[in-house]
């Protein structure tokens, strides 16, 4: 079967990539033969595969028109989405979370779109998923957008300093020198959202604070956007302490990967326990991202899948009921968690 795709008013070099990089990605991902002649793309192969290739080129053209550019990552993501839906592309909305100095920040997968919608509907959101799914990045984007829109007056980002055992007093230097190495990922995300000449005054005036979780004790934060990163490494008491810092007109996002718990006992994770405790509470939302939502290097998804297939780590599967969906969550074998179920 042969089909011709006409591309009118499209910059073919931008669409196909430098040295046809984008075209080669499509050829490596689908079986049909693809030949480009002028403004036409000729595709030969099975009907279903041709349909998928046509969808990829259509989505690429739409992305190029919307963003003004098209990256290798964009093409890889479109191919992944279409593969996942067996030939039918997922309609990921054009919603923009924040206009950053490096371009618009918007969801790039169906899971991320659900994440965004959940944050828009709830004051407290728990985002659970593997590395590279945008849990922290999207949370920071929401926080910066809220600050710039004057919805909040302050942003507080924190994470447990598990690697230091939270015993920061034994490390050399002042507080900033002690904790900065553990908070670098949060600085990285902020650096993308805000130019240095704006970020530095925010940090100096403590309009944006980046602190270890242990230093949140005793505070009440009004008109603030709070983010807890690496929440799987917070104990049950720390999780309760963090959530009860929430003051008037404040919001929070708690992000973590329950397959990467660094606590001495996996069962001590407050995030594991809170999933059951707060399920069904009005105003609190849960989002479960998967390897299909990974937006880092294309090999990251393969690495995650390889670890999931590895028999060295025993796993059990639990069904966690969200507001409308049944989510299958893989977690490490945690005996104490059974008590909460």
Domain ranges within the chain, ordered by starting residue: 2-84, 98-340
DSSP secondary-structure letter at 148?
H
Judged on CB neighbours under 10 Å (0-12, 13-18, 19+), 173 is exposed
User: What distance lies between CA 222 and its chain's CA centroid?
Assistant: 26
Tell me the pLDDT band of 75, cut-offs 50, 70 and 90: confident
Tell me the pLDDT band of 131, cut-offs 50, 70 and 90: confident
**Average pLDDT score over residue span 117-137:** 92
Is 212 in a helix, a strand, or coil? strand
At residue 212, the pLDDT reads 84
> 234-285 pLDDT, tens per residue?
999 999 999 999 999 999 999 999 888 888 777 678 998 888 899 889 999 9
**Average pLDDT score over residue span 134-139:** 91
Query: Which residues on neighbouring strands pair with residue 319, listed in sequence order?
Result: 328
Q: What pTM does this model have?
A: 0.62
At residue 79, the pLDDT reads 82
Q: For residues 120 and 65, which has the higher predicted lDDT (pLDDT)?
A: 120
| Lowest-confidence region among 20-24, 106-110, 297-301 | 297-301
Count the Cβ atoms, other than its own, within 10 Å of residue 85: 13
Find the angle CA(329)-CA(274)-CA(208) to the nearest 5 degrees: 105
What's the CATH fold of domain 98-340? Answer: Rossmann fold (3.40.50)
Q: Are 178 and 214 in contact (CB under 8 A)?
A: no
* CATH number, span 2-84: 3.30.1370.10
Most confident of 10-14, 60-64, 250-254: 250-254
Is 294 in a helix, a strand, or coil? coil
Six token digits for residue 140: 């920071």
Q: Is 271 left (phi over 0), alpha (psi -120 to 50) or beta?
A: alpha
């Amino acid at each position: 079967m042969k089909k011709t795709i006409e591309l009118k008013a499209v910059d073919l070099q931008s669409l196909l990539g430098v040295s046809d990089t984008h075209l080669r990605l499509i050829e490596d991902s689908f079986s049909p033969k693809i030949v480009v002649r002028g403004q036409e793309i000729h595709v030969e192969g099975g009907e279903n595969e041709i349909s998928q290739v046509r969808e990829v080129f259509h989505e690429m053209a739409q992305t190029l028109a919307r963003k003004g550019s098209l990256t290798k990552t964009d093409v890889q993501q479109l191919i992944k989405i279409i593969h996942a839906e067996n030939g039918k592309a997922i309609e990921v909305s054009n919603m923009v979370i924040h206009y950053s100095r490096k371009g618009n920040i918007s969801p790039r997968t169906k899971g991320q779109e659900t994440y965004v919608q959940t944050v828009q509907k709830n004051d407290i959101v728990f985002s659970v998923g593997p590395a590279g799914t945008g849990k922290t990045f999207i949370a920071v984007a929401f926080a910066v957008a809220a600050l710039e829109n004057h919805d909040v007056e302050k942003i507080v980002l924190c994470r447990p300093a598990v690697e230091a055992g939270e015993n920061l007093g034994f490390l050399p230097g002042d507080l900033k020198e002690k904790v900065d190495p553990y908070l670098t990922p949060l600085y990285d995300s902020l650096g993308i959202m805000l130019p240095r000449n704006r970020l530095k005054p925010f940090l100096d005036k403590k309009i944006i604070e980046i602190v270890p979780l242990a230093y949140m004790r005793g505070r009440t934060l009004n008109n603030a956007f709070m983010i807890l990163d690496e929440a799987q490494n917070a104990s049950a008491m720390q999780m309760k302490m963090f959530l009860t810092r929430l003051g008037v007109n404040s919001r929070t996002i708690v992000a973590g990967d329950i397959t990467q718990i660094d606590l001495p006992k996996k069962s001590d994770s407050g995030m594991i326990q809170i999933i059951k405790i707060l399920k069904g509470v009005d105003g609190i939302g849960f989002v479960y991202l998967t390897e299909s939502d990974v937006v880092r290097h294309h090999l990251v998804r393969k690495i995650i899948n390889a670890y999931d297939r590895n028999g060295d780590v025993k796993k059990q599967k639990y069904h966690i009921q969200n507001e409308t969906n049944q989510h299958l969550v893989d977690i490490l074998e945690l005996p104490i968690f059974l008590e909460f179920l």
